[in-house]
Structure 1
Amino acid sequence: MRGARHIAAVTDASFDLAAGECLALVGESGCGKSVLASALLGLLPGNAETAGSAVVDGIDVLAADERALARGVRGRRIGLVPQSPAAHLTPVRTVRAHFEETLRALSGTPRRELRAATEAAAARVSFPPGHLDAYPHELSGGLAQRAATALALIGDAPLLLADEPTTGLDRDLVDRTVDELRRHTDDGRALLMITHDLAAAERIADRVAVMYAGRIVELTGASAFFGSPGPRHPYARGLLAALPERDFTPVPGMPPELGDLPGGCAFAPRCASATGVCGTPPALTAGVACHHPAAPHG
């Protein structure tokens, strides 16, 4: 197509995720986090291209066709808490109808047990039973988010993708939601949580992956990331420093457009530690992609 550009939305993303483990994927808006989740579910636009492999419960989901994804992956092997829940709920059906359909399809719940099973599914995420007969447009953003979370949990999929699952929730409901996701993980399932909420990530995650300009620039244990010795990549350190309970100092500058990345290290134009060597792209080595990482124990 004349004028079309090739944009590498996610590049060289590599990680494993074990049963019973939560990996929090964090970074500024537009860095590629949600694109990664969409790729795992085969929900990218038709002109998108993927390479490599992503094996979930024995199936390479990047190589699977639409029929295999629809019948054997989505909801059954990978559950999704979407970033925009209202867009994933059918507007002419009640929340109860959504729950009942999902329970029948994924759990084989008999019709006579659907009412009790629906109320139990709602209770898992503190969704008020009085709103089960509401339509999606009658829900607040927070209620729509909780409904979507409950629907994602119904299939007890081996991998759950939670894309900003705490959007629109007050702090108490954030804590309840992430605690339920943690219980889901502790039952032996894997959780990839995409979030801007670092407090929620600290509460739930076993490991943290920091994404910047389509690349994972740091991958480390949550206790080391949020505690001591702290992040090693300058961008990751900046994310933590921006928190109100820390330095409350924003990361300087703006993230680059994925279609107009600078040569070398994409963070170099915003980095106080950048030198001439940063004109060469850094590899992810020992969990950090930086030419000038902080010392691992200091």
Structure 2
Amino acid sequence: MRTGGDIAAVTDVTFDVRPGECLALIGESGCGKSVLASALLGLLPANARTVGQALLAGPEGGLGDGLDLLAADERTLARTVRGRRIGLVPQSPAAHLTPVRTVRSQLHETLRELTGVRKAGAGKPGSRKTGLREAGEAAAARAAFPADHLDRHPHELSGGLAQRAATALALVGDAPLLLADEPTTGLDRDLVDRTADELRLHADSGHALLMITHDLAAAERIADRVAVMYAGRIVEIADATTFFGTRGPRHPYARGLLDALPERAFTPIPGMPPELGDLPPGCAFAARCPKATDACGAVPSPADGVACHHPEEDPTCSN
């Protein structure tokens, strides 16, 4: 909804991410995926406003600690959430790396702040230094970051190497929830698969993973469930096996995303997504949808994981 000069970048979004699970959030550029991740970490611009709840699981895996990320103050987010309970692989890694420090020193500083290595090694400088070095190199290896580049500064890295450095920094704290915002950008296919597999291992160790991605092959490779976002709303949430399998998704937009892949029909979705500041009434996808009818003049309510007036009913049928 737009009120005066306000733009609703994300609207009526409801989902959960469970320990040991990877939820892939997919959709075209500008649909609100990265805004959602920024909201969870309190990284929105100062003039942004949020409503609703984003509950972070407590130490025992439940919601008993009552921490609402959208209501938490900056001190709480900075000291107890970012890096410690939620790790972030940023969409623009170069903007998140400290330009005057090497990758190694940034890994060591992150370890000191997040894992208490400084305290654990008090009085044993040699042991502390060795522990930092080994832990930093292990995180770099997990992110496929070459050890002989650890002493380089961010400006000496290619875009793909900067992406891997940011991934290493996100993994080093072993946070219970990892938000990976386009973690495979700038990587070749082999490194995409290796990075995706490492993120999957992070989830398999009992952590929760929210992966925001345009790369449907990476999502298919590691996701347990898929959430599809369009024009600021989640229009479908489905089991990944069903979504990418012969049954396919039920929302026409989600089917269009798959049909646009080169290995499938290679048929683009007609038209362009609407601007979030100028959404049409009713279903925002109606103007591009082959199934649109007069009923689409109203915003569809989610039912059985899909928000559509005309969802695909026959699971074996494809557009």
**Which bracket does the TM-score occupy, shorter chain normalised?**
over 0.9
Shift of residue 107, structure 1, vs aligned partner: 1.5
Instruction: Sort the Cα spacing of 1:37 and 1:119 in 2 relative to 1 into closer, same or farther, 3 A.
Output: same
Aligned with 1:66 (options 58, 74, 86): 74
> In 2, distance between residues paired with 1:20 and 1:158?
9
Structure 1 counterpart of 2:277: 259
Structure 1 counterpart of 2:113: 105
Give 1:5-16 correspondences, 5 Å limit: 5-16=5-16
Shift of residue 154, structure 1, vs aligned partner: 1.0
CA contact (8 A) 1:241 1:249 kept: yes
Give 1:24-173 correspondences, 5 Å limit: 24-58=24-58, 59-109=67-117, 110-173=128-191
Structure 2 counterpart of 1:227: 245
Instruction: Sort the Cα spacing of 1:205 and 1:155 in 2 relative to 1 into closer, same or farther, 3 A.
Output: same
Question: Which deviates more, 92-101 or 52-61?
Answer: 52-61
CA contact (8 A) 1:24 1:193 kept: yes
Question: Which deviates more, 69-78 or 117-126?
Answer: 117-126
SS in 1 for 2:199: helix
Aligned with 2:235 (options 190, 196, 217): 217
Structure 2 counterpart of 1:282: 300
May I ask how many residue pairs the two structures share in their alignment? Answer: 296
> In 1, distance between residues paired with 2:132 and 2:295?
62
Shift of residue 296, structure 1, vs aligned partner: 5.1
CA contact (8 A) 2:135 2:172 kept: no
Shift of residue 143, structure 1, vs aligned partner: 0.5
CA contact (8 A) 1:162 1:193 kept: yes
- Name structure 2 gaps, 5 residues minimum: 59-66, 118-127
**Runs of 4 or more consecutive aligned structure 1 residues displaced over 6 Å after TM superposition:** none
SS in 2 for 1:111: helix
Per-residue CA distance 1:24-67 (angstroms, 9 max, x = gap): 00000000000000000000011111111111123211110000
Structure 2 counterpart of 1:236: 254
- Name structure 1 gaps, 5 residues minimum: none
SS in 1 for 2:227: strand
SS in 2 for 1:24: strand
Instruction: Sort the Cα spacing of 1:157 and 1:241 in 2 relative to 1 into closer, same or farther, 3 A.
Output: same
CA contact (8 A) 2:228 2:237 kept: yes
Q: 1:161 is matched by which residue type in structure 2?
A: L
Q: 1:237 is matched by which residue type in structure 2?
A: R
Q: 1:186 is matched by which residue type in structure 2?
A: D
> In 1, distance between residues paired with 2:105 and 2:293?
58
Per-residue CA distance 1:70-115 (angstroms, 9 max, x = gap): 0000001100000000100011111111111011111222333222
Per-residue CA distance 1:150-174 (angstroms, 9 max, x = gap): 1101111111000000000000000
> In 1, distance between residues paired with 2:81 and 2:44?
15
CA contact (8 A) 1:24 1:207 kept: yes
